[in-house]
Amino acid sequence: MATGRSGCRRFNLAAATGRQLMRLRFSTPFSALFFALLLALFSVLSCSADIPAGENKPASVRNIILLIGDGMGPAQFGLLESYARRAPNSIYQGRPTAVSQLMQQGKVLLSDTGPHDVLVTDSACSATQLAIGEASGSEMIGLNARGDSVETILQKAKRAGMRTGLVSDTRITHATPAAFAAHQPHRRFENEIAADLLTTAPDLMLSGGLRYFLPQDAANISTEQQKQISAAQLTLKSKRTDQRNLLSEAQQQGYALAFSREQLAQQQHLPVLGLFASSAMDDAIYASQNPASAQPDLNELTRKALQLLGASEHGFFLMVEGGQIDWAAHNNDAGALLHELLRFDAAIQEVVNWAADRDDTLVVLTADHETGGFGFSYSAHDVPAARTLPGSGMRGQAFAPNYNFAPLSLLDRLYAQKKGYYRLWADTSTDASSDGQKGLPTADSLMAEVNAALDFPFSRTQAERVLRRDPNPHFDPQTDDPAGATQPHIEDFSDFYVYREERYLNALARELASAQSVVWSTGTHTAAPVPVVISGPEPILQNFQGFTQHAKLGHQLKALIKTDGTGPTELGD
């Protein structure tokens, strides 16, 4: 990506030299004045020689692209780079990741993601803070900490005459994309969020979440819509509790509809509403194994978004989310996490390629929070045998570390995973297992499925431990479903594994931890600060410094956009 100049460095050098010379004793005041004028002339000529005609215009950007890796904290950035650079069989083969390319082009900050009055954030609150540029509250969508609706950066961009777009590999009604175009007191109101999205009317929306746009009664879905949906191999299942057909409402607003890769490829004009899954889109491992699927992958969605939005004469705002990074980390699934990071990096590469020769585009990559407390760690498990090194400094001693410091081959073994834990669990679960618990695998079926999908041995004893259940200390018999009286067993820090039935996946991760040299501290989010990578014109980059906060970052991005119809410009106050 082309970058602007930050100013003439020779001018500063000349000024410094001038200060030194002015300390000299001159024979007359005229001599001192002569030297001062000479230095000033030298400074002007030096700068003029360095700056070609037209390059001294005020710094500005025409396009703003915000990339959000949901749950992508510092350790997740590290996993991506460790695999790319150090895995013996890395698919990058010496090429830099798109993330590292952005880092080379711009600058890297750290940001506190915390909400108004607590330490730890969720995706809705954090994305809202980025979107509105103000502090927000937990699980709010498009509201500030007082509960007021606040114009988002996408809505401001639209008011300024810019094109706007949202892309996610989750659902378009999910927390992160919703925060940029909806206003709701809680993220769970996805039916209302779907309606809000059409009210805001971004020019492009590409994701999953079809079920929130379909009327409760399939008879109210038009024949042509049913034909398109059926061709994409999607169901007509609805999550709405009313008969609103938001697809028809979108078409009345001028939207073209797309439900498959083929249908999306046919779209050459905005606005476009693409809904490629009933709920969430396919996970990265499954998508990579099914390239002929009707569902486009995240990099394809990003490429199409740039193609359509990039034609705007007034610039555009685009948010792209790698949302399933977060889901893999919630499940403590290291192999799936790696694949989600790789998928997001492929989407980022589309942005890097598109912006490569432009000096009018600001690209911001960050996360909404860190998920899982992920990390590699050394352990006493499977300590490697002593071996001889050829170096003279060993003085005849064997190389014998006291611990297992995690060999690089683990990176390839994580990449070799054939199923994410969530899909693995669903595939091995039965209608009724031997103990009568609906939807659970047996120890034998779980052992077989894990050994088939992962390159880490898994025993029947481990499977039995994963399937244990305990009384739920938070169960209220007066209000809760009786099925919640027990919950999957977690050995310690149990309260930090809040998604009750998904705790089985966290228990599976605990059993595999030693073999993978991977540790997780939670099944939820942490308050770890997250990286912010910013690339664009140098004078604008100077406004982003050091340790920041997501609400401040959102405020700075919103301030780039003028509302006089000329699109974005340099940062204001």
The residue type found at 19 is: R
Q: Residue 115 CA to chain centroid, in angstroms?
A: 18
477 Cβ contact list (under 8 Å, min separation 6):
485
**Cα–Cα distance for residue pair 467/369, rounded to 1 Å:** 30
**Cα–Cα distance for residue pair 110/546, rounded to 1 Å:** 7
Judged on CB neighbours under 10 Å (0-12, 13-18, 19+), 477 is exposed
**Cα–Cα distance for residue pair 139/176, rounded to 1 Å:** 11
- Give residue for tokens 């797309």: 258
Return left, alpha or beta for 554; rule: phi > 0 is left, psi -120 to 50 is alpha, else beta. Answer: alpha
β-strands 256-258, 204-208 pairing: unpaired
CATH architecture, domain defined by 63-374+526-559: 3-Layer(aba) Sandwich (3.40)
Q: Residue 394 CA to chain centroid, in angstroms?
A: 46
pLDDT the model gives residue 437: 52
Q: Which of 556, 506, 511, 548 is nearest to 530 (CA)?
A: 548
Q: Which of 371, 409, 454, 350 is nearest to 76 (CA)?
A: 371
pLDDT the model gives residue 566: 55
pLDDT the model gives residue 291: 93
pLDDT the model gives residue 482: 87
β-strands 256-258, 163-171 pairing: unpaired
**Which residues, in sequence order, are bridge partners of residue 67?**
320, 365
pLDDT the model gives residue 563: 86
Q: Which of 153, 449, 163, 169 is nearest to 283 (CA)?
A: 169
**Cα–Cα distance for residue pair 513/149, rounded to 1 Å:** 44
pLDDT the model gives residue 164: 98
Decide if 417 contacts 335 (C-beta within 8 A): yes
Q: Which of 348, 263, 295, 264 is nearest to 65 (CA)?
A: 348
Q: Kindly state the helix (H) or strand (E) to which residue 361 belongs, with its residue range.
A: strand 361-366
Q: pTM score > 0.85 for this model?
A: yes
Return left, alpha or beta for 373; rule: phi > 0 is left, psi -120 to 50 is alpha, else beta. Answer: left
**Cα–Cα distance for residue pair 310/357, rounded to 1 Å:** 14
pLDDT tens for the chain, residues 1 to 573: 654 433 343 334 333 444 343 344 444 443 443 344 344 333 433 433 333 333 444 457 999 999 999 999 999 999 999 999 999 999 999 999 999 999 999 999 999 999 989 999 999 999 999 999 999 999 999 999 999 999 999 999 999 999 999 999 999 999 999 999 999 999 999 999 999 999 999 999 999 999 999 999 999 999 999 999 999 999 999 999 999 999 999 999 999 999 999 999 999 999 999 999 999 999 999 999 999 999 999 999 999 999 999 999 999 999 999 999 999 999 999 999 999 999 999 999 999 999 998 999 999 999 999 999 999 999 999 999 999 999 999 999 999 999 999 999 999 999 999 999 999 999 998 654 444 455 789 999 999 999 999 999 999 999 999 999 999 998 999 898 888 899 999 989 999 999 989 999 999 999 999 999 999 999 999 999 999 999 999 999 999 999 999 999 999 999 999 887 555 654 433
Alpha helix (H) residue ranges in 310-459: 324-330, 334-355, 409-415, 421-428, 443-453
Q: Which of 17, 36, 534, 34 is nearest to 9 (CA)?
A: 17
Q: Which of 437, 491, 485, 435 is nearest to 462 (CA)?
A: 491
Q: Over 94-129, what HEC string results?
A: CCCCHHHHHHHHCEEEEEECCCCCCCCCCHHHHHHH
pLDDT the model gives residue 434: 47
β-strands 486-488, 316-322 pairing: unpaired
pLDDT the model gives residue 60: 74
pLDDT the model gives residue 568: 60
Domain boundaries, the chain: 10-50, 63-374+526-559, 380-475+498-519
**Cα–Cα distance for residue pair 558/101, rounded to 1 Å:** 25
pLDDT the model gives residue 59: 59
pLDDT the model gives residue 483: 83
Q: Which residues of 179-205 are buried (b: 16+ CB within 10 A; e: fewer)?
A: bbbbbbeebebbbbbbbbbbebbbbbb
Q: Which of 556, 549, 521, 429 is nearest to 136 (CA)?
A: 549
**Cα–Cα distance for residue pair 329/283, rounded to 1 Å:** 13
